[in-house]
Amino acid sequence: MTFSEESRQSGAPGGEPSGSGRSKGKIGLWIVLILVLLAIPTYFFLKRLDRMNRRMARLSTQVEQGNENAAAASARAAAALDRASQAQVSAQEAARERDQAEKAKAASEQQAQQAFEQVQTAQQKAAAAQQAAAAAQAKAEEYRKEREAEIAHLQKVLSQITQTRRTAMGLVMTLGSKSIRFAFDKSTLQPEDKEVLSRIAGVLSTVEGFGIYIYGYTDDIGTKEYNLGLSERRAKAVRDYLVANGLDPSIITTKGYGKADPLVPGSSPKARAINRRVEIGLVDSTIKPLPPQNQ
């Protein structure tokens, strides 16, 4: 008996032939086999896909984290750039301040050098001034001694002509009744008076650097105003005669004192004759003269 006959003899429920059942079984087996064959790669595919999905998720997370890190790095870079920019600005400002400080230092050093040079110059000038002052003082002292000697000589010479006394600034010659005799209420010079004045003019014409001051006086008779005018006329009469005998008029000054400052007190004819006088002051031309004082 063949396989096909046995199949037909055994039969299948429902009256179907047994061969048909076996065929369906084979088909089902093939289907299961096919499904199994398909399931295995599908499983591995799905498993691989899952791994890929997880990997992609990790990559996505890494990308996001990388983006965040990149953003943070960018922010840090921007902050660093800003700090660098500020540092550059600060460095530029510091450089400018340094330049200004160096310029100020150079200017200060230059001013200090100039001040030092000025101090040295001032010290040199001060030393030169001190030397000049010392030289001038020595010269002035020498000049004073020369003038003292000259005044002493003049006093000796003039004392032989008329009464002559020494003052702090020079000499004063008193032309009173013993040398010039003015008549009462007169300012006219007598011939003998002119002789005395000629001798005085001869002596004074030989000296230099002196001023001549002529003071006129009267006795106590008459008013103050009248006697002031009379004493001025007497002083001018003496001045005019000295100028006529060669003295420079620019160095002669006259002034009348009237009946003030009598040479001797009293109202006797003798006292009045003595007080009707002229006094000639001889002083250094650089010294302002004062009215003569009696001694």
Host domain of residue 112: 23-142
**Residue at 152 is within a domain:** no
What's the pLDDT score for residue 289?
Answer: 46
Domain assignment of residue 113, yes or no:
yes
Q: What is the rounded distance in angstroms from the CA atom of residue 268 to the CA atom of residue 147?
A: 40
Residues 165 and 138 in one domain: no
Provide the 10 A C-beta neighbour count for residue 141: 10
pLDDT: which is higher, 175 or 201: 201
Show the 3-state SS of 248-282.
CHHHEEEEECCCCCCCCCCCCHHHHHHHCCEEEEE
Residue 4 lies in a domain: no
Rounded CA-CA distance 166/172 in Å is 6
295: pLDDT strictly greater than 50: no
Is residue 247 a contact partner of residue 212, using CB atoms and an 8 Å limit?
Answer: yes
Which tens digits make up the pLDDT trace of 202-245?
999 988 888 999 999 999 999 999 999 999 999 999 999 999 99
In a domain, 112, yes or no: yes
> Which token pair is 294?
């009696």
- The total domain count for the chain is 2
Q: Which of 256, 236, 239, 238 is nearest to 193 (CA)?
A: 238
Q: What is the pLDDT of residue 18?
A: 59
- pLDDT tens per residue across span 21-32: 777 778 888 888
Q: Is residue 174 within a helix (H) or strand (E), and if so which, with residue range?
A: strand 170-175
pTM (two decimals): 0.53
Measure the CA–CA gap between 162 and 169, rounded to whole angstroms: 19
